[in-house]
Amino acid sequence: MQPIISIRGLSKTYDSGFSALKNIDLEIAPGEIFALLGPNGAGKTTLINVICGIVSPSTGQVMADGHDIVTDFRAARSRIGLVPQELTTDAFETVWATVSFSRGLFGKPKNPAHIEKVLKDLSLWDKRSNMIMTLSGGMKRRVMIAKALSHEPQILFLDEPTAGVDVELRRSMWEVVRSLRAHGVTIILTTHYLEEAEEMADRIGVINQGEIILVENKAELMSKLGEKRLTLQLQDRIDTLPSMLAPHELELAADGDALVYTYNANDKRTGINTLFRDLDAAGIRLRDVDTKQSSLEEIFVGLVRQDT
């Protein structure tokens, strides 16, 4: 399938001489939810701002739905909705006016039914006549999303959409994102909440110091890199590990009632069989066992650390 966004050899060096993006190649498929992860200053916002025409690229090419974002800017931009990281709204406007006005900026004819639907989907309908300055932070963020959707874009960028949003509201925003995707909108989001990427994304890209260091299907990423931890609850506490168990590199829990064994589930030999044999030989009796897959967070921290 033709990618809806295609980025080739994209670099950005700011006027200060700082190189914020280094030779980025990335394709986004229509209808996917792509999460871009990376530490502060990695280049996430710069990348989004280049695609949305706010920051000019230094080298490389970006196509949005077949339109070059530099030479065919208006056509490219009309396909894109952007919810920026920084909240900027006209404090003295009403919700309805500001969202309707945004649509007009893209030269689209008025469509009150669409604006109504967007406001209802974002639970802002009751607030439509309120001035923006009277809304809470989370509501303002939803107004930003409503503005970004006002001109019916096929591609939506959400730059940290749920920063500072409470858990309940975050979940309801995930619902909104999912329903947008169900209507065929392609979504690219950045987040610091790994839980969010884990929950939402089809694919995950990790960016660090201006370079994309990994792009992977979420499920594959989690199983490929995922370490597992096997926790063995002991029948009887122990103070020290029997020396014959040393080769297994077990961790003894602080209160001596559990052992933790870390392994990679994809290895041909996980060492679990010999571990159990040696535990038995050492006379250690188990009360319970439990295994846990690494979270995306652990994987991510490991990746970024390796890279620096």
Ligand X SMILES: Nc1ncnc2c1ncn2[C@@H]1O[C@H](COP(=O)(O)OP(=O)(O)OP(=O)(O)O)[C@@H](O)[C@H]1O
Site of interaction with Mg ion (CB under 5 A): 44-45, 85
Nearest-10 Cα torsion for 15, 20, 23, 29: -120
164 binds ligand X, rule: CB under 6 A: no
Q: Which residue has the tokens 């909104």?
A: 176
Identify the helix (H) or strand (E) that includes residue 144.
Answer: helix 137-149
Size of the site for ligand X (CB under 6 A): 13
User: Angle 50-54-56 (CA atoms, 0-180°, nearest 5)?
Assistant: 55
Which of the ranges 15-23, 97-105, 249-257, 284-292 carries the binding residues for ligand X, by CB under 6 A?
15-23
Token pair of 34, please?
């792509």
Q: Are 62 and 12 in contact (CB under 8 A)?
A: no
**Is 47 or 119 the residue whose CB approaches ligand X more closely?**
47
- Choose the contact partner of 162 out of Mg ion, ligand X, none; CB within 5 to 8 A by kind: none
Q: Are 37 and 86 in contact (CB under 8 A)?
A: no
Q: Are 139 and 124 in contact (CB under 8 A)?
A: yes
- Choose the contact partner of 218 out of ligand X, Mg ion, none; CB within 5 to 8 A by kind: none
CB-closest chain residue to Mg ion: 45
CB atoms within 10 A of CB 36: 26
- Choose the contact partner of 14 out of ligand X, Mg ion, none; CB within 5 to 8 A by kind: ligand X
CB atoms within 10 A of CB 120: 12
**Is 48 or 80 the residue whose CB approaches ligand X more closely?**
48
Which of the ranges 10-18, 94-102, 181-189, 278-286 carries the binding residues for ligand X, by CB under 6 A?
10-18
Shortest separation between residue 237's beta carbon and ligand X, angstroms: 45
Interface pattern 37-76 for ligand X (x via CB under 6 A): -x-xxxxxxx------------------------------
| The one among 6, 23, 85, 293 contacting ligand X by CB under 6 A | 85
Nearest Cα to Cα of residue 191 among 168, 154, 161:
161
- Choose the contact partner of 18 out of ligand X, Mg ion, none; CB within 5 to 8 A by kind: ligand X
Shortest separation between residue 185's beta carbon and ligand X, angstroms: 22
Q: Are 154 and 63 in contact (CB under 8 A)?
A: no
